[in-house]
Amino acid sequence: MTKSAQYTREREEALMEKAAVKGRSLWDDAKARLMRNRAAVASAIVLSLITLLAIAGPWVWPHSYDHVFKDHVGIPPTLHGWFIFGTDSQGRDLFVRLLYGLRVSLAVGVIATMVSLLIGVIWGATAGYVGGRVDELMMRFVDTLYAMPFIFFVIILMVVFKDLTTGRPALNILLIFVAIGAVEWLTMARIVRGQTIALKRKEFIEAAEAAGVRPFTIIRRHIVPNVLGPVVVYVTLTIPSVILAESFLSFLGLGVQEPLTSLGKLIANGAQDMETMPWTLLFPALAMMVTLFCFNFIGDGLRDAIDPKDR
């Protein structure tokens, strides 16, 4: 055997040993389990298509979401004139308004959830790791906010900032982000705190403390990455609840302002005209149902894939 052949063989054996030692991580196992969940995979595909359609659809559709067709008021779904979902009571194309409604509702759900994720993870990890009086003070603040009714808090914000948001739909949506995000992070903080209390007794945390690592660095590099499993699952289940909360506010007239719309606003308008124009309620309700089902199936799939009891 030549030296080059022997070198090649030794290199292949070394690579095989390295691959055998490396093995599969827990995240690889979770990904494989998730991919075997047909409902979660199908929901992810459907949700991706819905998101893509909501983002790109209005750009290529021939009608604008705020254009009023005076000669086509309240017409049922038809291919004539590209009114495939019909028009509403004001003569606006329902299909393009539904796309904008999906865009706004998804944006509210994702952004408000990310805000609650950021605040909740930092707050819960800090309270759980530091402990003592700091933990008591921080969690009593959480309990105080929990005691405030959600709708009461939103009404206060809407009344206080009414003059600023009137005629400014974008600012009104930002206010919805603040109102929903100010409540949704509370549960996230409690979940992260509980996980942190369980983690800070582990050997790798004690080793980091013994090595003189600063508390902030321990939280950032050791605590937060190890609580991401439950947090990711909770995030996928929080987005549909945020969408429902926004839809509830819009249904009550406290959400998105005209001419912008959301799924809740479309459902509220469709409920008023359901006897004469049932399609104005049917299509938004179906869109919301499919979207919420997709998020829930994905959340269930992630929970089953990450749950250590199922490994």
pLDDT in tens, 203-232: 888 888 888 888 888 888 888 888 877 888
pLDDT at 19: 46
Neighbour-count burial for 167-197, b at 16+ CB within 10 Å, e otherwise? eeeeebbebbbebbbbbbbbbbbbbbbebbe
Residues 6+ apart with CB under 8 A from 74: 86, 87, 88, 89, 91, 273, 276, 277
Q: Residues 298-308: what's their mean pLDDT?
A: 78
Is residue 99 within 8 A of residue 134, CB to CB? The reply is no
Q: Which long-range contacts (CB under 8 A, 24 or more apart) does 262-268 make?
A: 262/101, 262/104, 262/105, 262/108, 263/101, 263/102, 263/104, 263/105, 263/287, 263/288, 263/291, 264/105, 265/101, 266/94, 266/97, 266/98, 266/101
In this predicted structure, what is the pLDDT of residue 9? 58
Q: Which residues pair with 87 in a beta bridge?
A: 93
Give the burial class of 2: count Cβ atoms within 10 A of its Cβ; 0-12 exposed, 13-18 middle, 19 or more buried: exposed
Of 20-34, 183-197, 271-285, the poorest mean pLDDT is in 20-34
pLDDT higher than threshold 60 for residue 121: yes
Residue in 281, 249, 276 with CA at minimum distance from that of residue 266 = 281
What is this structure's pTM?
0.81
Comparing 5-14, 193-202, 254-263, 266-275, the range with the smallest average pLDDT is: 5-14
